Amino acid sequence: MATKDDLEAMLPLTPAVFHILLALADQERHGYGIMQEVERQTDGAVRLGPGTLYGSIKRMLKANLLIETEARPDPEHDDERRRYYQLTNFGQRVARAEAARLAHLVRQAQAKQLLTAERG
């Protein structure tokens, strides 16, 4: 089991890794599904290219943030060559810790009135 030190050593996450964790927070997905979900969650502002996505996934698998799932959808409804990924318990904890870290930064920005609506 990963220790608190292991978790803290992961932070801060790169934006790509955090977006992948967010995309997998509610369900397992294949690589292209992760790309689509990141684009959807960011209203198109973030588009992960294949190199960034699969390089990040490889590192995340090694760091025990993700696992490749054994279950596959019915081949009639999906390409059986696709690999599906899901968060590990450690991956969920890292995602929560990063979200808390970012929320703290947002509170600091609010306190300094950096997030006030612009007046035009």
Query: Does residue 119 lie within any of the structural domains?
Result: no
pLDDT tens-place string over residues 16-56: 999 999 999 999 999 999 999 999 999 999 999 999 999 99
DSSP string, 58-84: HHHHHTTSEEE-S----TTTS-TT--E
**What predicted TM-score, i.e. pTM, was given to this entire model?**
0.87
Phi-psi region of 2 (alpha: psi -120 to 50; beta: other; left: phi over 0): beta
Each residue's pLDDT tens digit, 85-101: 999 999 999 999 999 99
Domain extent at residue 98: 4-111
Position 74 scores a pLDDT of: 64
The total of structural domains in the chain comes to 1
Task: Check which CATH number belongs to the domain holding 100 and give it.
Answer: 1.10.10.10
Let me know if residue 120 belongs to a domain: no
d(CA 13, CA 46): 16
As given in the structure block, the two tokens for residue 68 are: 């490749």
Mean pLDDT for 89-116 is 95
